[in-house]
Structure 1
Amino acid sequence: ATAARDAGDLVRAEASLRSAAKVLLAGGKSRTAPSPFARAAAYELALLLSLTGRHKEADEVSHQLGFLYKLAPSILDGTAHTRASSKGAKDIVATFDGALPADLLEPLQKAFAPSSPFWEEHGYPTQQFFSYNQSLLPTAKR
């Protein structure tokens, strides 16, 4: 699936991921418990669906994985990047020193330090990125 995706063959990548994740995607109809590989494939499938703008399908797969939140759709499909957000220089990241007081910053630095137990204990399925943002559930169901 990765080779197909990297070659731009998203149809083949999706088919491979769906095949690898079929136990999980069966929604409890399978007698076999999903393996970690099926969960990883389902996760990658949800990401691929989001990247291609198929957010409803991605949300269904993500929900089967037990996720409750995701990044905003415009972040995942790249449309946020096409919006003019400022008149600043293109593709520049800004940082602001002193934005947080030390008594707030220091505990955050400790909690999220590379050696912090958080990174091993959080159970996030990838080390490629990390975020909890967008709810997958309608507001009324939260």
Structure 2
Amino acid sequence: MGPIAKRTKTESGTPSPLSLYRQAVKLVKQQQQQLCGSLGSDSLIEQKLQQSVQALAVRVQEGETAEHSLDLELCLDEPAFLLASAHLQLGLLYRQQDRLQEAAQQLQHSLQHFPCFVAAHSALGQVVRASAASHDELQQAEAHLQQAVASAEQLSAQQDGLLLQSNQACAAEADAADAARSALAMMLCQSGREVEAAVHLAALGFKFRLSNEVLHYALPSSPPAAAPAEQGASDFLLQVLDNALPQQLLLHLQQVFAPAAPFWREHSYGRVGYFSYFFRLVSCL
């Protein structure tokens, strides 16, 4: 890279777009390493990323887009990639905070500047899926996940895989593709398309999956009647019932276990071995 890629300030003495972006990314990594985050750190990250977006937007010409290449990296001569990356980080931050509409907007902006951005397609597919309220929206989510996988496969096929190994920016796309495959496989299983799902599950190294009775079960038209006591145990070993919880309890649980709820940070989910709690359900009613 030339000397311009190493500068952290512009000629006027203000932080360069690259410097602003790196500051925000550094804060993101620091927060991920901590046992629990804070609203203050989230606000600072958001502020740095927004400053980066504003500074980079004036450097990207209309219609200019980034693409995967051997020299794609976080440097000032790739402003479109930097801008797409800043929008991506904002989208991921909003997704973590359960601000799904804002997350989707940022991820769409990211794809405007980097149409084949695997990480942005993967994240947008998962965001749309999480907030989908119709079949059309589920199809949109699947389309983004499919695009993420397809773009990653094209990358791995280029130059015998050398492109994915050429720099960290391209290598990170492979990780994003795995997340897209995982979400896509779940969607396909839940829609009864197990043959299509098997392709992605095999690519991820899985050999087994849950049965269709768990992932693609038929919804009963009415709750099954309880078996009389004299008949002993019911023939059903497992039943899935909609509206099984009181509305007030359901709303409380949705709040407690929301993606951005303190529970996940305070219990170090994703950083320590798996654990759980056991409570009698009647104690929560």
1:61 is aligned, of 178, 190, 200, to 200
- Tell me: CA distance 1:50–1:83, structure 2 relative to 1, closer, same or farther (3 Å): farther
Q: 1:88 aligns with which of 226, 238, 253?
A: 226
Answer yes or no: is the 8 Å Cα contact 2:126–2:183 preserved in 1: no
1:24 CA drift (Å) = 5.2
Report what 2:146 is aligned to: 18
User: Structure 2 vs 1, CA of residues 83 and 74 (structure 1 numbering), >3 Å: closer, same or farther?
Assistant: farther
Give the conservation status (yes or no) of the 8 Å contact 1:43–1:61.
yes
Q: Does 1:38 align with 2:166?
A: no
Assess if the C-alpha contact under 8 Å between 2:145 and 2:184 holds in 1.
Answer: yes
Q: Residues 49 and 55 of structure 1 are in contact (CA less than 8 Å); yes or no, is this contact kept in structure 2?
A: yes
Q: What TM-score does the superposition give when structure 2 sets the normalisation length?
A: 0.28
Give the residue type in structure 1 aligned to 2:185. A
Whose helix proportion is higher, 1 or 2?
A: 2
Measured after TM superposition, the shift of residue 66 of structure 1 is 0.7
* Residue segments in structure 2 that go unaligned for 5+ positions in a row: 1-124, 165-170, 228-239, 245-266, 276-285
Q: Could you tell me which amino acid in structure 2 is paired with residue 4 of structure 1?
A: V
The TM-score, its normalising length taken from structure 1, stands at: 0.52
Which of these residues, 168, 186, 190, is aligned with residue 47 of structure 1?
Answer: 186
- Which of 1 and 2 has greater Rg? 2
Shift of 1:83: 9.5
Q: Which has the higher contact order (CA 8 A, sep 6+)?
A: 1
Question: C-alpha separation between the residues in 1 aligned to 2:199 and 2:126?
Answer: 21
Q: Cα–Cα, structure 1 residues 12 and 43, in superposed 2: closer, same or farther, change >3 Å?
A: same
How many residues matched?
Answer: 97
Contact 2:191–2:216 (8 Å) recurs in 1: yes
Q: 1:73 to 1:67 in 2, by over 3 A?
A: same
Q: Which residue of 1 aligns with 2:274?
A: 119
Cα distance, 1:24–1:83 mapped onto 2, change above 3 Å: farther
Q: Is the 8 A contact 1:24 1:42 kept in 2?
A: no
What secondary structure is seen at the aligned counterpart in 2 of 1:70? coil
Contact 1:17 1:42 (8 Å CA) reproduced: yes
CA distance in 2, matches of 1:87, 1:25: 50
Q: What is the alpha-carbon distance in structure 2 between the residues aligned to residue 67 and residue 23 of structure 1?
A: 22
Unpaired runs of 5+ in structure 1? 93-113, 121-142
Query: How far apart in 1 are the matches of 2:146 and 2:193?
Result: 15
Cα pair distance change 1:83/1:7, threshold 3 Å = closer
Query: Match of 2:274, SS?
Result: helix
* 1:4 equivalent in structure 2: 128
Q: String of CA shifts for 1:37-95, please: whole Å, max 9, x gaps.
A: 1101110000111111111001111111111111102211232x5499x6428836xxx
The alignment-based identity, stated in percent, is 27
Is contact 1:45–1:58 with CA below 8 Å preserved after alignment?
yes
1:78 corresponds, among 200, 204, 217, to 217
The answer to whether the 8 A contact 1:53-1:77 is kept is yes
